[in-house]
Amino acid sequence: MSTQDCLFCRIVAGEIPADVVHETEHTLAFRDIHPQAPTHVLVVPREHHADAAALAAARPELVAELVSAAARVAASAGHPDDYRLVFNTGAGAGQTVFHTHLHVLGGRSLDWPPG
Domain of 14: which CATH number?
Answer: 3.30.428.10
Q: Residue 70: left (phi > 0), alpha (psi -120 to 50), or beta?
A: alpha
Catalytic residue among 40, 79, 99, 101: 101
CA distance 33 to 107: 16
Whole domain around residue 63: which residue ranges? 7-106
Output the CA–CA distances (angstroms, integers) from residue 40 to 2, 21, 81, 83, 104, in the order listed: 27, 11, 15, 10, 5
CA atoms within 13 A on the CB side of 47: 10
Model pTM score: 0.94
Q: In the chain, how many domains are there?
A: 1
In a domain, 2, yes or no: no
pLDDT one-digit tens code per residue, 35-94: 999 999 999 999 999 999 999 999 999 999 999 999 999 999 999 999 999 999 999 999
The pLDDT of residue 3 = 75
> Catalytic site residue 79?
no
